[in-house]
Structure 1
Amino acid sequence: MNTYKEVVLKPKKDEFLKRFHPWVFSGAVAYKSKEIEEGEIVKVLSHEKEFLGVGHYQIGSISVRILSFKDVVINVDYYIERLSEAYKMRKHIGLINSENNTYRLVHGEGDNLPGLIIDIYGNTAVLQAHSVGMHSDREKISEALRAVYGSDNLKNIFYKSEGTLPFKADIDPEDSYIFGGADVDDIAVENGLKFKIDWLKGQKTGFFIDQRENRTLLEKYSHGRTVLNMFSYTGGFSVYALRGDAAIVDSVDSSSKAISITDNNVQLNFGDEPRHNSYSEDAFRFLNEIPDGKYDLIVLDPPAFAKHRGAVNNALQGYKKLNHSAFAKIAKGGILFTFSCSQVISKEQFRLAVFSAAAISGRKVQILHQLTQPADHPINIYHPEGEYLKGLVLYVE
């Protein structure tokens, strides 16, 4: 039995934890032990002092993120067990193989480790904390990672949390190597394609692993088509389209650095590729200025338009405007891949925004596929909020 400080809930506020939801909201807390520091491990009790779980205490609307619903000690052995289970699942479903060394090992609540992201790029792990508790435990997690993978398979662990930790927390995180860092190979392989990963300064952990299966689907539709990849970032969709034998692939991103990375990834896989063009321009302006019917396959994968609930309405208008532009411009018989990665936007809200855009355009539109995040970004069945990536593949007459 552990001896952690206690957080006690109000009467009748324990139902959600008994259904294994991993969050304790501040409004459910009756009282707590004195002098609990943010990030500290606490035990959560019902108002009748029944044990409910252990987790990281934090300041804010979520008071505790539950790590275990059993009365366990959160130490290196605990993290070894959780990381081993996460690795085993990825291995069992065939994600880890000679053609693919790029995958998400830990997806927060989806892997029962709320507040933690770990992405694997070859022999480098990029560890990202979204809670003070995971920041505090980073050395334990690093030790556990090395135990699970062994020295032959894991050479580097990069900690990248400057932009993800609560800004009000009294900590000063610094992105740096926790382990290794010398002679780092920053080329990762995804489904046989090579990508240069910028985990030092790139978005998220350096690459959007969550679109891997959707990129594979796009490859199948790319043969002979003229492809426009909007918000291209590192050019993942562009590289897959080129391998799928697209006639032309144009990559567009407002960031000149992102376009440079896209160009490098195309070069890495295909050398000097005359079928590929890149443009550092505003997406909305580019879409509005292209000739009607120039492209018969368009990818819309914008950054999150809404990162909090107060921005939902504006975000939905943004998705509606963006998709309307695509419907207005895409060629007859064209295919549109359109996405939202905003967690606060539901599947129904996103589909309604796209439906409205289609209706305004007057085009006949059919849904071919409904897309989501891949298996290495699992959704905890008790935490449906973990489903954040929504996508539609549409056929436009």
Structure 2
Amino acid sequence: MNAPRWPYPLLRLKPGKEGLISKRHPWVFSGALARPSESTLVRLADDSGQVLGVGTASPANPLAARIFRFEDAPLDEAFFRSRFESALRLRRDLGLWSPEGGCRWVFGEGDGLPGLVVDRYAQALVLQVGTAGLEGLRDTWWPILFELGKREGITAFVERSQSGRKEEGLEPVNRLLKGSLGGPVTVHEGPAKLSVDLLRGQKTGFFLDQRAHRLQVGAHAEGCRVLNTFGYTGGFSIHAGLGGASQVATLDISAPALDQAERDWVANGLDPAVHVRMEGDAFELMRQLEPGGWDRVIVDPPAFAKQRKDVDKAFKAYKDVFRLGARATAPGGFLWVFSCSQHLDRMRFQEAVWTALLETGREARVLAHLGQPADHPYALNHPEGFYLKGLWLRVE
């Protein structure tokens, strides 16, 4: 895919539609444009032709343009190098950059690179490319990312570009770019060693955004019966086991994920007799659980609202599964509930939790509001970047 040379074509807004850009919001929707873009790289301009920013564009996506810089300047090698280095410096300052750990290096708009996600898993790097504009610029940014990755000790480079590609006229990509993989990689997270399948796992292989919450569960698991619903490969479970839980159940619909959870349990030196595998639909299996039978319960479902029109239906699904989680929690027990749906805002999420508790006839105290970690930053001018919401509750 060939990118247009600088200066990129002008993409004009309708009169009076420059308000969000003037507030440095990086998204422009199709209704704000005078006409659809014919180029994947553009200079966004007001009705008079004054350039307000530079970014990528798509004629088919309702999210028609994403702004990378609020100035009239190209997306060149110097730009990408500066953004990559700045994002890396932040993770290093946060103490999250480790040759044995997992860390998100680039988080799209939060790092000034809309449509791009880059995750580090020990000696491997996984990237997601979500826009046609970034594809057109691959020859510009990819050599820099590869160079910096090698400098940081990365030996394997994987691409898992799937989400959002259809709206950009792009095919999904799942491939090894450079280096080799002998199977899943192992990342160290506190006391835990966790396996990540970079080519077949969900998202980029694992859910790095739950790191702090897994550690939190582990710190409060001693002597407890712990239920980990939607448990995937058992990250929460491993931490609970290492924290001294008396029994841990991992519930998921995926047999391969549960297979990996069981292997990781043993690899962490934990007694297999303490771990219970629950395979099947979470809603159905949770309905069969003994009420009040678990001291610690984690309910971390997938994104039920992937589009704004799905919010009302998703609200009901979240309410139902949170109700089942609360029902399973012993009096005085801890319940962690989460939503990773960007379109379900914090207030609606909390309403779903509150309604769920009312329906179970239980009361709860909020111990903490939870969210995405510091390596998943979001810009104040882009509140849509805040997606992970959670509550840590003591259920009475």
- Bucket of the pairwise TM-score, normalised by the shorter protein: over 0.9
Q: Which residue of 1 aligns with 2:303?
A: 304
The whole-number CA distance in structure 2 between the counterparts of 1:63 and 1:283 is: 37
2:17 to 13, 16, 24: 13
Q: Which residue of 1 aligns with 2:223?
A: 224
SS at match of 1:106: strand
Q: Which residue of 2 aligns with 1:27?
A: 31
Question: TM-score, normalised to structure 1's length?
Answer: 0.94
1:96-145 deviations in Å (ceiling 9; x for gaps): 246x5210011111111111111101121101022222233334332111
Q: Does 1:194 align with 2:193?
A: yes
Q: Which residue of 2 aligns with 1:180?
A: 179
Would the aligned equivalents of 1:307 and 1:344 in 2 still touch at CA under 8 Å? Answer: yes
SS at match of 1:200: coil
SS at match of 2:166: coil
> Measured at CA, do residues 292 and 152 of structure 1 come closer, stay the same or move farther in structure 2, by a change above 3 Å?
closer
The whole-number CA distance in structure 2 between the counterparts of 1:326 and 1:190 is: 26
Q: Which residue of 2 aligns with 1:103?
A: 103
The whole-number CA distance in structure 2 between the counterparts of 1:169 and 1:94 is: 35
Would the aligned equivalents of 1:80 and 1:147 in 2 still touch at CA under 8 Å? Answer: no
Question: TM-score, normalised to structure 2's length?
Answer: 0.94
Would the aligned equivalents of 2:165 and 2:171 in 1 still touch at CA under 8 Å? Answer: no
Shift of 1:169: 4.0
Shift of 1:247: 1.1
Shift of 1:366: 0.6
Shift of 1:249: 0.6
Shift of 1:152: 5.9
SS at match of 2:92: helix
Aligned partner of 1:141: which letter? W
Aligned partner of 2:67: which letter? I
Q: Does 1:154 align with 2:145?
A: no
The whole-number CA distance in structure 2 between the counterparts of 1:381 and 1:129 is: 23
Would the aligned equivalents of 1:142 and 1:178 in 2 still touch at CA under 8 Å? Answer: no
The whole-number CA distance in structure 1 between the counterparts of 2:181 and 2:364 is: 52
Shift of 1:71: 2.1
1:184-230 deviations in Å (ceiling 9; x for gaps): 77222222421111121111000000000111111111111100000
1:145-182 deviations in Å (ceiling 9; x for gaps): 12323356121211111x31432544334311222225
SS at match of 2:268: helix
Q: Which residue of 2 aligns with 1:87?
A: 88
Would the aligned equivalents of 2:58 and 2:168 in 1 still touch at CA under 8 Å? Answer: no
Would the aligned equivalents of 1:228 and 1:298 in 2 still touch at CA under 8 Å? Answer: yes
> Measured at CA, do residues 183 and 279 of structure 1 come closer, stay the same or move farther in structure 2, by a change above 3 Å?
closer
SS at match of 2:311: helix
Shift of 1:268: 2.1
Q: Which residue of 2 aligns with 1:47?
A: 47
SS at match of 1:160: strand
Q: Which residue of 2 aligns with 1:237?
A: 236
Q: Which runs of 5+ in 1 are unaligned?
A: none
SS at match of 2:272: coil
SS at match of 1:304: coil
Shift of 1:183: 5.1
Would the aligned equivalents of 1:77 and 1:144 in 2 still touch at CA under 8 Å? Answer: no
1:352-393 deviations in Å (ceiling 9; x for gaps): 011011112121211111100000000111000111101001
Q: Which residue of 2 aligns with 1:357?
A: 356
Shift of 1:335: 0.7
Q: Which residue of 1 aligns with 2:138?
A: 138
1:269-298 deviations in Å (ceiling 9; x for gaps): 125432111111221122111222221111
> Measured at CA, do residues 332 and 156 of structure 1 come closer, stay the same or move farther in structure 2, by a change above 3 Å?
same
Would the aligned equivalents of 1:336 and 1:396 in 2 still touch at CA under 8 Å? Answer: yes
Q: Which residue of 2 aligns with 1:74?
A: 75
**Which ranges of 4 or more aligned residues in structure 1 deviate by more than 4 Å?**
182-185
* 1:200-215 alignment runs, 5 A limit: 200-215=199-214
Would the aligned equivalents of 1:132 and 1:165 in 2 still touch at CA under 8 Å? Answer: no
> Measured at CA, do residues 62 and 170 of structure 1 come closer, stay the same or move farther in structure 2, by a change above 3 Å?
closer
Aligned partner of 1:369: which letter? A
Would the aligned equivalents of 1:336 and 1:395 in 2 still touch at CA under 8 Å? Answer: yes
Q: Alignment identity in percent? A: 35
Q: Which residue of 2 aligns with 1:57?
A: 57
What is the RMSD of the two structures over their aligned residues, measured on CA atoms? Answer: 1.9
Length, aligned pairs only: 391
Q: Which runs of 5+ in 2 are unaligned?
A: none
SS at match of 2:273: coil
The whole-number CA distance in structure 2 between the counterparts of 1:343 and 1:355 is: 19
The whole-number CA distance in structure 1 between the counterparts of 2:370 and 2:228 is: 17
Would the aligned equivalents of 2:28 and 2:64 in 1 still touch at CA under 8 Å? Answer: yes
